[in-house]
Amino acid sequence: MSSFKNPATATLFDLAKARRTYYALTPESPVPDSVIETIVKDAVLHVPSSFNTQTTRVVLLLKKEHQKLWDAALQIMEGLVASGTIPKEMFENNTKPKLEGFRNGYGTVLFFVDYESLDPIKKQFALYADKFDPFALESNAMSQYLVWTALEAEGFGANLQHYSPLIDIKVQENWNVPASWKLDAQLVFGTPASKDLPEKTFQPLEERYKVFGN
């Protein structure tokens, strides 16, 4: 083990190691809403994107607006049960409690990619045209990770969800989201109901990491 020159590096990795998936949440916040907004806005501003294309879009939903999202998801799922697309038993035993758990959080960060904004640069750099969409998603994921880690550093628990395209239309309607914003992930957060998490297992590093020239 070697020690870092900058103590903040150790803190950064302590925060990365402490980030986990929390499903059991309560609808309280350990910090003022302005802190949550600072985290989300700074992630949108400072997370890098390929060619600095800045393709990530974010909608932050708090309290009642957050509940509205998961009520909508529940309603959509109930529709799928009614139409026979999802078995009722699976919905009652699995999907419904899960969605109610998300609803019981304090907020949700919706992460979108504006792929249409890439049209000009795809024309300008035709050789890379097929790379820009995946790059945009990778940049979006970086924002998700930074917000997730920072919210947990501030005392929240969070989990990452993917209910697109199921909820896309409702999200567009409810929060007046431009049609070009393609929803990728939903980061649900709240105060952890318990810090008792399942132990995380790790595949051996030797199978996943190589170094040369050290």
Ligand X SMILES: Cc1cc2nc3c(=O)[nH]c(=O)nc-3n(C[C@H](O)[C@H](O)[C@H](O)COP(=O)(O)O)c2cc1C
Does the footprint of ligand X cover residue 56 (CB under 6 A)?
no
Q: Which of 154, 194, 147, 127 is nearest to 47 (CA)?
A: 147
Tell me, by CB under 6 A, how many residues bind ligand X: 7
CB of 48 to ligand X, least distance (A): 18
Of positions 26, 54, 161, 164, contacts ligand X by CB under 6 A: 161
Q: Which stretch binds ligand X (CB under 6 A): 26-34, 47-55, 123-131, 155-163?
A: 155-163
d(CA 71, CA 49): 33
Give SS3 for 105. Answer: coil
Contacts of 171 (CB under 8 A, 6+ apart): 59, 69, 72, 110, 177, 183
Stretch that binds ligand X, among 65-73, 83-91, 116-124, 160-168 (CB under 6 A): 160-168
* Residues 118-137: x where in contact with ligand X by CB under 6 A, - otherwise, as a string: --------------------
Residue numbers 13-52 binding ligand X by CB under 6 A: 20-21
What DSSP string runs through 161-210? E--TTTTHHHHHHHTT--TTEEEEEEEEEEEES----PPPP---GGGT--
Which residue in 106, 159, 183, 189 binds ligand X (CB under 6 A)? 159
- 164 touches ligand X by CB under 6 A: no
* Residue 24 to residue 38: CA distance in whole angstroms: 25
SS3 for 38-53 is HHHHHHHHHCCCHHHC
Compare residues 5 and 200 and give the one whose CB is closer to ligand X: 200
Does the protein bind ligand X through residue 160 (CB under 6 A)? yes
Nearest-approach distance from CB 77 to ligand X, in angstroms: 15
Q: Shortest approach of ligand X to residue 56 CB, angstroms?
A: 15
Minimum distance from residue 176 beta carbon to ligand X (Å): 25
Q: Which of 200, 205, 209, 214 binds ligand X (CB under 6 A)?
A: 200
Quickly count helices (H) and strands (E) in the chain.
8, 5
Instruction: Please give the Cα distance from 64 to 166 (Å, whole number).
Output: 20
Q: List interacting residues with ligand X (CB under 6 A).
A: 20-21, 159-162, 200
